Each structure stands twice: as structure tokens, then as C-alpha cells.
Amino acid sequence: MDQNEHDSGVAPSGIDAPEPPGMHAPTVGDVLLAIEELWPESLAEDWDEVGLVAGRSGKRADRILFTVDPTAAVLDEALDWGATMIVSHHPLLLKPVSSVAASGFKGEAIHRLIEAGCALVTVHTNGDSAVGGVSDVLADALGLQDVQPLTPAADGLPEEGIGRVGNLGSPVTLGDFAEVVFSILPAVAGGVRVAGDKDALVRRVAVCGGAGDSLFDRVRSSRADVYVTADLRHHPASEVREAAAGATPYLIDVSHFGSEWLWLTPAAEALAGVLTDQGFTTDIRVSGVNTDPWDFVLTPGH
């Protein structure tokens, strides 16, 4: 995977280079305000945990790394680079904990971040729901038009919410469309799975970055021909296909990591744009670490 880098005045050695006239590095608090402008916390689902996980708001945040998951390998990459903030899509601490002792991998991550002076912030379902969020990026990459949310946000703009549905410029076969889906995603062990007649024509497409089998009712009511999402479980997927009796909606199951990885570069560019407009200079990169948990897959004929 290519890294996306905005070099704006920090020397490769980690020694601060002279800042451009009128420009200066933001603090963690400054970056949090920019994040709130782009991906408001009010858009996060009730069960979610977003926002600052570790770090002091007054500390300098001049090197920011975007990632899907705050894994140990991502921390290695970030701290070796000298990152002062990590923006992670997935939360490190989604469920309540009673200890952050370094004897566990989550506690170890917290200790490493604090000891290195690197902040960690989560942009999760607020990043899914916002304009330009995960599903918007996926819809754009697939060339969808007249896009609307599958589930509109309760307290957001009409175009905000979870999932998206829109139309292709012209009908294509399910097989050809699946090839397009496969081509835009990073290479992962699981590949892409498809349920439906590969020669059937599809035009109306629903998408949801990440796990989306909770949205099947919305997909059916949207009259989508095909639904692209991740982590489809056997029973919900089987029931959808049985109820459809071979007709629509067809299903395309992709990597959870891959479906959200597409968002990282546009998100990094959006944050860089807001910070630059506010007079800040930062070095923002996208992690080059593939955090998909699967290493290899066996198929018939191997």
C-alpha cells in the first residue's frame, strides 16, 4: 500500500525545521477541533466510543498517522517515524476495562503511546456517517450517482448517516461489478465473495464500509440490486438470499479492513486541508500496515 504524505516542514530526522511564515504546528487540542469539524462526535452511534483515547490537549501534534486499527505493528510504524498523534478508525478501548497494565496488549499500547508522547484519537462511526465518510468514499470509488444514506443520521444533515445507496451510470453484470469491487480494494487473504447470478444485471447499489448485516431491512427497502459490505455472517446472509428466491438483493462480501482502508487517504487530505486553512503546518501520513487479521486462505484447487 502506498503511503500518503503531506510534507509541510518537519525534517526527516525528527528535528523541527523552520516553519513557514505565519504557520505553526497545531496542538492535540487544535487537531481535535479540526476532527470535530469534519467528523462530529454527535454522529457516532450510541454504543460507540470515539474521541481522544490518550494524550494531552496542549501537546504539539505535528506528525499525524492515519490507520484503520491501532495494532502493535502500526504503533511500531508510528513511533519509529516520530508520530505525535495517531488517528485510528477502530477504537482501541471499545469495551470497558478495569486495568491498562502493560501485561495485556491494550495496556501495552497505552503505555507505549504515553511514554512516547503520542496521542491516540478514534474516528469510528462518526467517520462512517459524516459527509465524505467511509461509505461515501466507497460509493465514490464505485462510481455511484444520486447517493443517499441507507440509514439517515438522527441529528445530522440529510446526506449524513450509516451506509449509502446510489446508481451506476448504466447496468452491468454482477460478475463484472464484482470485478470492479475487487479491483479498488487492497489485496487481502479473504478476497471477495459474491452471492447471486454472475450474469444478472445490476444498477442500484447499496454499500456499507465495515460490518453491515444489521442493515438488510434498509437495503431491501432501498430497492438495491446488490449490497457491498463486510463480515457477512452465514445465517443472516443465507436468510436474505432465501427470502429473495434467487432475485435481488445480491450480496458482495469484502474485507472489513479493506472497505474502510479506502477512507484513510481522503480523510488525511481533508484533515490536512482544514489545518492548513487554520494556519497550521503538519506532516500527515497514511499507515502502510495491512491490519487485516487473515494471512492466507485455501480455496478449491488451492
Q: Beta-carbon neighbour count of residue 56 at 10 Å?
A: 13
Q: Which residues sit opposite 172 in a β-bridge?
A: 202
Residue of 201, 211, 260 whose CA lies nearest to 237 = 211
pLDDT score, position 194:
98
As a whole number of angstroms, the distance between CA 73 and CA 287 comes to 10
Does residue 149 sit in the same domain as residue 194?
yes
Q: 254 lies in a domain?
A: yes
Does residue 77 sit in the same domain as residue 16?
yes
Does residue 85 sit in the same domain as residue 195?
no
Provide the domain count of the chain: 2
Does residue 232 sit in the same domain as residue 273?
no
Does residue 223 sit in the same domain as residue 164?
yes
Does residue 180 sit in the same domain as residue 226?
yes
Does residue 33 sit in the same domain as residue 65?
yes
Does residue 169 sit in the same domain as residue 61?
no
Tell me the pLDDT tens digit for each residue of 28-45: 999 999 999 999 999 999
Task: Provide the pLDDT confidence category of residue 1 given band limits of 50, 70 and 90.
Answer: very low
Tell me the pLDDT tens digit for each residue of 53-75: 999 999 999 999 999 999 999 99
DSSP character at residue 215: G
Q: 295 lies in a domain?
A: no
- Start-to-end C-alpha separation, the chain: 25
Does residue 69 sit in the same domain as residue 161?
no
pLDDT score, position 65:
98
CA distances from 5 to 8, 9, 93 (A): 9, 12, 27
Tell me the pLDDT tens digit for each residue of 119-163: 999 999 999 999 999 999 999 999 999 999 999 998 889 999 999
Percent of the chain with pLDDT over 90: 88
52 with 70: CB under 8 angstroms? no
Q: 296 lies in a domain?
A: no
pLDDT score, position 155:
84
Q: 301 lies in a domain?
A: no
Q: 152 lies in a domain?
A: yes
Does residue 191 sit in the same domain as residue 275?
no
| pLDDT, mean over the chain | 92
SS (H, E, C) 106-153: HHHHHHHHHHHCCEEEECCHHHHHCCCCHHHHHHHHCCCEEEEEEEEC
Beta strands 283-286 and 250-254 are unpaired
What's the domain range around 102?
Answer: 5-124+263-286
Does residue 114 sit in the same domain as residue 34?
yes
| pLDDT mean over 216-223 | 97
Which H helix or E strand runs over 208?
A: strand 201-211
pTM of the model: 0.90
What's the CATH code of the domain at 103? 3.40.1390.30
Q: 200 lies in a domain?
A: yes
Amino acid at 88: S
Q: Which residues contact 197 (CB under 8 A, 6 or more apart)?
A: 174, 246, 250
Q: 147 lies in a domain?
A: yes
Does residue 205 sit in the same domain as residue 247?
yes
